[in-house]
Amino acid sequence: MSSIPLTDLQRLCIHTITTKPWNIEEAAGYYSSNGVKGITVWRDALTGRNINKTGEMLRNHGLEIVSLCRGGFFPSKERSKRDLAIADNRKAIEEAYELGTNIIVLVCGADPSLSLEDSRKQIHEGIASVLPDAEAAGIRLAIEPLHPMYADTRSAINTLAQANDLAEILNSPNAGVAVDVYHVWWDPNLEKEIKRAGKNGSIFAFHVCDWKSPTVDLLNDRGLMGEGCIPLRKIRSLVETAGFSGFIEVEIFSNIYWKHDQSVFLQNIISAYKKYV
């Protein structure tokens, strides 16, 4: 049933935020020289840079640009802010195109002063507004369900079932989902919903890290793979059985690891990837 261990790094992608202390040029150099094949670029890493040339720099390092993180954050009680969010998502689509990636991860957003139902409605409207732009640019939008502990301010889409529902309603080859083990590992419907996403051909991205016990910060205390209780190989097996064969993206927000020597951390990521994913 389970997938076999990954013995090479052909499918290993790292998110720039995972090694936040490095700028994107340093990250590219170190990832590349250590055999990492993919990079997912967080938009903050592009600040002050020519995006086209940055994409070229990454490709010159032999890196595939797996996705751009992140669009989304559609809901707001204020119409003007919703319009700004839509404009910003259009900008993200342009950035992804210039950078040379064809996926944008969507953290859909939530406004605690709205009901979850209203936030969800605005998320639907927001994605529907920018989807034609994404289609025209050849960019796929990956709706990432976020852990229910982020339902107040980060995303009103908290289960893979909800993300699948939304992708099905949007009904476009450019609308799909991102499966991040941190957000979905607890879900009793996970297997069923991964199968459903696979059947739709809509698993656009697969993110890994681990859930530590105890977790001391709601946002920035993710664990390195193997450090926690997430059944990583089992979930990888589920997405692969459902047809996903793309990059496996390491996305770790950690106040602890960001203080470490990032070169040592990178070695630990590579070891953990082979041992636990």
Chain residues in the site for a second copy (CB under 8 A): 112-113, 115-116, 147-149, 151-153, 158-159, 161-162, 185-188, 211, 213-216, 218, 228-229, 231, 234
Output the smallest distance, CB 165 to a second copy, in A: 9
The Cα–Cα gap between 130 and 87 comes to 9
For a second copy, the closer of residues 88 and 191 by Cβ is 191
Output the smallest distance, CB 88 to a second copy, in A: 21
For a second copy, the closer of residues 126 and 145 by Cβ is 145
For a second copy, the closer of residues 37 and 183 by Cβ is 183
Output the smallest distance, CB 231 to a second copy, in A: 6
Neighbour-count burial of 115, counting CB atoms closer than 10 A to its CB (0-12 exposed, 13-18 middle, 19+ buried): exposed
For a second copy, the closer of residues 59 and 192 by Cβ is 192
Q: Hey, which residues does 142 pair with through a beta bridge?
A: 105, 176
For a second copy, the closer of residues 32 and 237 by Cβ is 237
Output the smallest distance, CB 29 to a second copy, in A: 35
State yes or no: cis peptide before 70, omega within 30 of 0: yes
Query: Distance of CA 71 to CAs 62, 100, 243, Å?
Result: 25, 16, 25
Report whether 11 contacts 37 (CB < 8 A): yes
Q: List, as one string, the DSSP characters of 214-264.
A: S---SSSBPBPTTSSS--HHHHHHHHHHTT--S-EEE---BTTGGGS-HHH
Report whether 269 contacts 18 (CB < 8 A): yes
Output the smallest distance, CB 241 to a second copy, in A: 17
Closest by Cα among 48, 50, 44 to 99 = 50
Output the smallest distance, CB 212 to a second copy, in A: 8
For a second copy, the closer of residues 11 and 222 by Cβ is 222
